[in-house]
């Protein structure tokens, strides 16, 4: 290349540029001279809540955009309903709750960013939200470092017990294990496992396999589809040719729609090969279509049809606020309940202080739409009743079986012999 291409002034700039570079790097290297070493006890800031005479702020952290918005928007709606009701009834400790809603955008780092913003900048007394396990794992360090409270309203895979999270959805022994008990009772001898490729289905299936081994149930196949996958022809073929007694379905979101459409096309029905789903609630039934789901089974702690005055009130209030055709579902109910549980904890503690609220948690009860729930202070989960439901032609789910009263939460399945060595 001809040297004429090289402009003379470029060379001068270059030298100066290098000098500056050296300076900056030297400065940078000299800087990290202070701060705690790893392992040293360094007190995190411990964010202080911004509570005035007449208001207290809480954060709502749900995906309002992106792929998860499908599910999470309804949770936000349920949270807002609970807050509205509590405010109408005089608030918490005489203070009106002021909700601050943030969009997690279906993106885990954004969840972490927004939770930090809610805690550090807005000074919220508690945060309600998150759906996917990934988003919960992403925000967990933020809550632990800032000593702030998160209420997580979705059934999940267990194996977690953060001191700063209250889990108001089911853990595995309140959803998956009872569903297996039910199937065993019904005489199911073989299962096919279908799930989305992420932490909940994989962990759930590990539990199912351990259970199956101990109870003489044969697992005929196990398939995972990437999140958001909508091509299930092959999996339906595999399920059909395996010929199991039942299918255990841990697919998430969109994938369920494609899976059930394919399942029906393959000529499989609830009579020939029932599917037990743990991520399909009323909202999903509505979007998949009852024509594909009629007769299939679900395992939850709450259905729109669950009996009781508390639920009638909840469903009526929700439909009055958001529309007559809007169904209520388990995660929405758990979210709704979580706000009331927080209120009860705060009132028992007589303060919004996180340590006091946590200390007051054990034994708090609430007459929730799903029935009486009790906080287990040790695990920070709640006692919940399991209900197996059957999906009807009208899109509603009716209970066909329930556990004997609320089940004590056991996130690490310590109380089950067959689950040894799982965690």
Partner 1 sequence: MTVFLSQSFTGISIGAVLLLIALGLSLTFGQMGVINMAHGEFIMAGAYTTYVLQQSIGGAGVSLLLSLPLAFLVAGAMGVLLEWLLIRHLYARPLDTLLVTWGVSLFLQQLARDIFGAPNVQVRAPEWLTGNVRLIGGEHPFTLAHNRIFILALALAALVSLALTLRVSPLGRRIRAVVQHRDLAEASGIATARVDRVTFFIGSGLAGLAGVALTLVGPIGPTMGTNLIIDAFLVVVVGGIGRLRGAVIAAFALGVLQAVVEYSATVSVAKVTVLVGIVAFLQWRPQGISTLRTRSLV
Partner 2 sequence: MTATTRPDAATAAGPAATSPRRARWRAPLGFALGALLLFAVAPAVLSDFRLSLLAKYLCFAIVAIGISLAWGRGGMLTLGQGLFFGLGGYAMAMHLKLADAGPGQLPDFMLLYGDSDTLPWWWAPFASPAVALAGVVLLPAALAVLIGYFVFRRRVRGAYFAILSQALAFAFSLLLIGQQATTGGTNGLTNFQGFFGYSLLDPVNKRMIYFLIAGVLLGLMALTRQIFLSRYGELLVAVRDSEERVRFLGYDPTLVKLFAYVYSAVMAGMAGALFVPAVGIISPALIGVVPSIEFLIGAAIGGRASLPGAALGAIAVAWAQTTLSEEFPAGWTYFQALLFIVVVAFLPGGLASLGRLLPRRPRLRSRRAPGADPEPEPDPREAPARSGPATAAASSSTTTAKEAGA
Q: What is the DSSP string of 306-361?
A: --SHHHHHHHHHHHHHH-TT----HHHHHHHHHHHHHHHHHHHHTS--HHHHHHH-
The entry of partner 1, partner 2, none that residue 141 binds, CB within 5 to 8 Å by partner kind: partner 2
Least CB distance from residue 245 to partner 1, whole Å? 15
Q: Is 230 in the site for partner 1 (CB under 8 A)?
A: yes
Beta bridge partners of 196: 225
* Residue 149: closest CA among 109, 118, 111: 118
Provide the 3-class DSSP secondary structure of residue 227. coil
The entry of partner 2, partner 1, none that residue 16 binds, CB within 5 to 8 Å by partner kind: partner 2
Closer Cβ to partner 2, 31 or 309, answer by number: 31
Q: Is 80 in the site for partner 2 (CB under 8 A)?
A: no
Give the x-and-dash track for 5-24 against partner 2 (CB under 8 A): xxx-xx-xxx-xxx-xx--x
Q: Report the half-sphere exposure of 59 (CA within 13 A, side-chain side).
A: 33
- Is the Cβ–Cβ distance between 288 and 257 less than 8 Å? yes
Phi, psi at 276, each rounded to 5°:
-100, 120
Provide the 3-class DSSP secondary structure of residue 273. coil
- Is the Cβ–Cβ distance between 149 and 126 less than 8 Å? yes
Number of chain residues interacting with partner 2 (CB under 8 A)? 67
Q: Is 199 in the site for partner 1 (CB under 8 A)?
A: no
Q: Is 132 in the site for partner 2 (CB under 8 A)?
A: yes
Closer Cβ to partner 1, 160 or 283, answer by number: 283
d(CA 229, CA 293): 19
Q: Is 45 in the site for partner 2 (CB under 8 A)?
A: yes
Q: Is 102 in the site for partner 2 (CB under 8 A)?
A: yes
Closer Cβ to partner 1, 51 or 285, answer by number: 285
* Structure-block tokens of residue 186: 């019904």
Q: Is 213 in the site for partner 2 (CB under 8 A)?
A: no
Least CB distance from residue 90 to partner 1, whole Å? 32
- Is the Cβ–Cβ distance between 250 and 201 less than 8 Å? yes
Q: Quick one: which of 91, 289, 308, 377 contacts partner 1 (CB under 8 A)?
A: 289
Q: Can you give the C-alpha Rg of the chain in angstroms? A: 25
Q: Quick one: which of 243, 350, 363, 405 contacts partner 1 (CB under 8 A)?
A: 243
- Structure letter (DSSP) for residue 363: T
Residue with tokens 């040790």: 378
Give the x-and-dash track for 71-100 against partner 1 (CB under 8 A): xxxx--------------------------
Residue with tokens 């203070």: 95
Residues numbered 360 to 419 that lie near partner 1 (CB under 8 A) are none
Q: Quick one: which of 96, 137, 215, 238 contacts partner 2 (CB under 8 A)?
A: 137
Closer Cβ to partner 1, 47 or 68, answer by number: 68
* Structure-block tokens of residue 218: 């044969």
Least CB distance from residue 261 to partner 1, whole Å? 5
Burial of 342 (0-12, 13-18, 19+ CB in 10 A): buried
Q: Quick one: which of 51, 78, 140, 188 contacts partner 2 (CB under 8 A)?
A: 140
d(CA 172, CA 413): 8
User: Using CB under 8 A as the criterion, which residues of the chain lie in contact with partner 2 when the complex forms?
Assistant: 1, 3, 5-7, 9-10, 12-14, 16-18, 20-21, 24-25, 27-28, 31-32, 34-40, 42, 44-45, 64-65, 101-103, 105, 107-110, 112-114, 116-117, 120-121, 132-134, 137-138, 140-142, 145, 159, 197-199, 202-203, 224, 226-227, 423
């Amino acid at each position: 290349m001809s040297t004429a291409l090289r402009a003379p002034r470029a060379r001068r700039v270059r030298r100066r540029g290098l000098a500056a570079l050296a300076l900056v790097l030297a400065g940078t290297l000299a800087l990290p001279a202070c701060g705690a070493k790893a392992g040293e006890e360094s007190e995190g800031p411990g964010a202080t809540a911004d509570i005035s005479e007449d208001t207290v702020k809480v954060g709502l952290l749900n995906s309002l955009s992106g792929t998860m918005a499908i599910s999470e928007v309804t949770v936000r709606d349920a949270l807002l309903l609970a807050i509205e009701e509590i405010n109408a009834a005089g608030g918490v400790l005489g203070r009106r709750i002021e909700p601050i809603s943030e969009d997690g955008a279906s993106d885990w780092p954004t969840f972490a960013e927004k939770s930090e913003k809610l805690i550090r900048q807005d000074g919220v007394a508690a945060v309600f939200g998150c759906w996917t396990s990934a988003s919960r794992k992403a925000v967990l360090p933020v809550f632990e470092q800032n000593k702030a409270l998160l209420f997580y309203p979705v059934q999940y895979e267990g194996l977690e017990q953060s001191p700063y999270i209250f889990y108001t959805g089911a853990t595995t022994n309140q959803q998956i294990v009872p569903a297996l008990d039910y199937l065993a009772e019904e005489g199911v001898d073989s299962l096919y496992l279908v799930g989305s490729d992420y932490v909940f289905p994989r962990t759930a299936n590990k539990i199912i396999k351990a259970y199956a081994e101990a109870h003489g149930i044969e697992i005929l196949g196990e398939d995972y589809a990437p999140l958001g996958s909508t091509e299930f022809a092959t999996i339906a073929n595999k399920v059909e040719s395996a010929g199991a007694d039942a299918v255990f379905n841990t697919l998430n979101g969109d994938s369920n729609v494609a899976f059930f459409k394919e399942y029906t096309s393959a000529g499989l029905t609830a009579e020939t090969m029932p599917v037990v789903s743990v991520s399909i609630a009323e909202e999903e039934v509505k979007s998949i279509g009852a024509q594909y789901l009629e007769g299939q089974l679900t395992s939850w702690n709450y259905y729109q049809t669950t009996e009781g005055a508390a639920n009638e009130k909840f469903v009526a209030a929700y439909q009055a606020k958001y529309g007559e055709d809007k169904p209520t579902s388990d995660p929405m109910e758990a979210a709704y309940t979580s706000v009331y549980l927080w209120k009860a904890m705060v009132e028992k503690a007589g303060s919004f202080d996180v340590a006091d609220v946590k200390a007051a948690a054990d034994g708090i009860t609430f007459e929730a739409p799903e029935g009486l729930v009790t906080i287990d202070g040790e695990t920070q989960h709640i006692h919940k009743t399991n209900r197996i439901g059957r999906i009807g032609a009208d899109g509603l789910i009716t209970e066909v079986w329930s556990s004997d009263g609320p089940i004590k939460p056991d996130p690490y399945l310590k109380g089950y012999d067959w689950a040894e060595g799982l965690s």
